[in-house]
Amino acid sequence: MHKNGTFLDELDFAILDCLQEDGRMSFTVIAEKLKVSVGTVRTRMNKMAEDGIIHFIGRVDPDKVGFHCYAHIAVYVRPATQREQIAQQIVKEPEVSFLALTSGEYDLEVNVMCRNNDHLVEFVNRISAIKGVYQTKTTLYFKVYKYAQPALGLLKK
């Protein structure tokens, strides 16, 4: 599969599957599972990291570290020509976990993680004060059942 000029083969996807299963899985364990050399795994992972296909981060459980308020914020922009400029401002906010330009009723979709409701109100007020933000609609997530990336096997269908 080509992505931004990079070719990923079955072995690359198998390595990524292993890491989705356990992000701390060692090169040695991956190599044993896939019946290839440790050097092959190391080379492939280094190349995918250089190409920006994979990023090594420590994902924490937000609730367990103190983020108890999750929300979806629909942002309406007027005039619409300011969408990109406003998105570039919002993306810098540390509470933002997801930001996308949308094609529906609103212009930008923002997902945030905040310490509590007061923190969320402060965040929404900050976003609402950006010139060109016409309106926001906030929906609280009462309970998050899944917080993950999609399984790579979906790409093979």
The domain spans of the chain are 2-50, 62-141
The rounded mean pLDDT for the chain is 92
The separation between CA 33 and the C-alpha centre of its own chain, rounded to angstroms, equals 28
Indicate the pTM of the whole model.
0.81
Q: What percent of the chain has pLDDT above 90?
A: 78
Of 120, 100, 97, 122, whose CA–CA distance to 109 is shortest? 100
Q: What is the pLDDT of residue 6?
A: 66
Q: Across residues 53-68, what is the average pLDDT?
A: 90
* CATH pick for 2-50 out of 3.50.50.60, 1.10.287.610, 1.10.10.10, 3.40.50.800: 1.10.10.10
Residue 2 above 80 pLDDT?
no
Q: Which one-letter amino acid corresponds to residue 32?
A: E
26: tokens are 């060692």
Q: What is the pLDDT of residue 157?
A: 63
Q: Across residues 99-123, what is the average pLDDT?
A: 97
Residue 107 above 70 pLDDT?
yes
Over the stretch 129-142, which tens digit does the pLDDT of each residue have?
A: 999 999 999 999 99
How many of the other CB atoms lie within 10 Å of CB of 7?
A: 9
Q: How does DSSP classify residue 150?
A: P
At the top level of CATH, the class of 62-141 is: alpha beta
Over the stretch 29-39, which tens digit does the pLDDT of each residue have?
A: 999 999 999 99
Q: Please state whether 132 falls in left (phi above 0), alpha (psi between -120 and 50) or beta.
A: left
In order, the DSSP letters of 39-84 are HHHHHHHHHHHHTTS--------HHHHT--EEEEEEEEESSGGGHH
Residue 4 above 80 pLDDT?
no
